[in-house]
Amino acid sequence: MEILVFLTLLVVGLHSAAAVTHSLKYFYTGSSQVPNFPEYVSVGMVDEAQISYCDSNTNRNEPKQDWMSRVTADDPHYWERNTQICVGNQPSFKANIETAKQRFNQTGDVHIVQMMYGCEWDDETDKVVDGYERYGYDGEDFITFDLKTETWIAPKQQAFLTKNKWDNNKAYNEQTKNYYTQICIDWLKKYVNYGKSSLMRTELPSRVSLLQKTPSSPVSCHATGFHPQRATLFWRKDGEELHEDVENGDILPNQDGSFQMSADLKLSSVKPEDWGRYECVFQLSGVKDNIITKLDKAVIRSNEKTDMTIIIAVAVVVVALIVIAVVGFMVYKKKKDGEAKALNNSSDSGSEQSERLNPQP
């Protein structure tokens, strides 16, 4: 059985320029010999909000947003079907990892096969913004679907066998493109409709702070508590945005569904008498008013204890994100069953989330 694997991509934090672009993403992970971690995990996300979770310990696919319970009104067996798929797909992971180990001439130790796929949709123009399907093994790219050419890209020699086989299956590649440009989008629209009161809310940051570890460290402008994630945070001097001596961080989710981000300004090129010319600007898409914070020593929080609290808080979020990014799984090829669609032919293991295996008409 051939292997299908994912690229270890931490997509949370990707910046989106369009104010009305929505995304549906799934992360699957199959692992071996990872201490205190399930051999199988799946996570679904809409607009960076986690909507579902299942692993090989609980063997139950469950909603992670209150509004996701509405899906059963249209599909009473939705969660039961997802749970069955979660349980039924697990045996493939062990086989896929063994196949990958053979491809890479490896033996035991920790190994991970992953998949990420999803789609993006602009609800103003009603156009498909993007669709993607990516696989990897042990944190490196393995094979990726090119939506435009309907072919597969293999960055590693070990993936050529899979690429050649899938490229020869023109009918399946057409189905794959159809999934990301139509079926996935249809599901995304449904989810956005279910959770629009939550997903489409607009909240400015609850706090924008200037932080600094030591007098010689960069000054970090940190914004937290905003929603949605379509926001920008940057430094400017005399009204002009700075690009040099500035390091922008990723947008990270908070536990309450809001987001946080930071932008660091290096002080090596900032003269003491010029501090008043610098300011941090937070912009939230769809909101006219910006939040401007002047570079002022009097407002910088530099207490080590305070900094460590923030660092620890951010670290916890990052760990959670890594788990989400590692949260994907390898699903083996299944025959068509009702509305279910196979991802690969008989000698390849397939990867699909429940909506893909059981799309609504």
The three-point CA angle 106-34-25 to 5° equals 95
Residue type (1 letter), 48: E
Report the SS3 class of residue 282: strand
Do residues 31 and 115 lie in contact, with contact meaning Cβ atoms separated by under 8 Å? Answer: no
Instruction: Tell me the mean pLDDT in the region 309-315.
Output: 46
Task: Answer whether residue 33 shows pLDDT above 70.
Answer: yes
Rounded to whole angstroms, how far apart are CA atoms 339 and 83? Answer: 16
Report the SS3 class of residue 248: strand
Report the SS3 class of residue 241: strand
Instruction: Tell me the mean pLDDT in the region 6-18.
Output: 36
Residue type (1 letter), 102: Q
Task: Answer whether residue 317 shows pLDDT above 60.
Answer: no
Task: Give the tens place of pLDDT for each residue, 135-189.
Answer: 999 989 999 999 999 999 999 999 999 899 999 999 999 999 999 999 999 999 9
Q: Which of 197-201, 212-216, 292-296, 328-332 has the highest average model confidence (pLDDT)? A: 292-296
User: Nearest to residue 265, comparing CAs of 248, 279, 246?
Assistant: 246
Q: Which of 44-53, 75-84, 85-94 has the lowest mean pLDDT?
A: 85-94
Q: Which residue has the higher pLDDT, 100 or 309?
A: 100
Task: Give the tens place of pLDDT for each residue, 339-348.
Answer: 333 333 333 3
Q: How does residue 274 score in pLDDT terms, banded at 50, 70 and 90?
A: very high
> Mean pLDDT over all residues of the chain?
80
- Tokens 């270890």 -> residue: 8
- Tokens 């590693």 -> residue: 156
Task: Give the tens place of pLDDT for each residue, 243-273.
Answer: 999 999 999 988 888 899 999 999 988 998 9
Task: Answer whether residue 129 shows pLDDT above 60.
Answer: yes
Task: Answer whether residue 313 shows pLDDT above 60.
Answer: no
Q: At what angle do helices 160-167 and 170-178 cross, to 10 degrees?
A: 90
Task: Give the tens place of pLDDT for each residue, 53-63.
Answer: 999 999 999 99
Query: What is the DSSP secondary structure assignment for residue 67, as one 8-state letter?
Result: G
Residue type (1 letter), 239: G
Task: Give the tens place of pLDDT for each residue, 182-238.
Answer: 999 999 999 999 998 888 888 999 999 999 999 889 999 999 999 988 899 999 999
Domains of the chain: 21-198+323-357 (3.30.500.10), 207-321 (2.60.40.10)
- Tokens 């020869």 -> residue: 168
Count each helix (H run) and each strand (E run) in the chain, helices first.
8, 18
Task: Answer whether residue 86 shows pLDDT above 90.
Answer: no
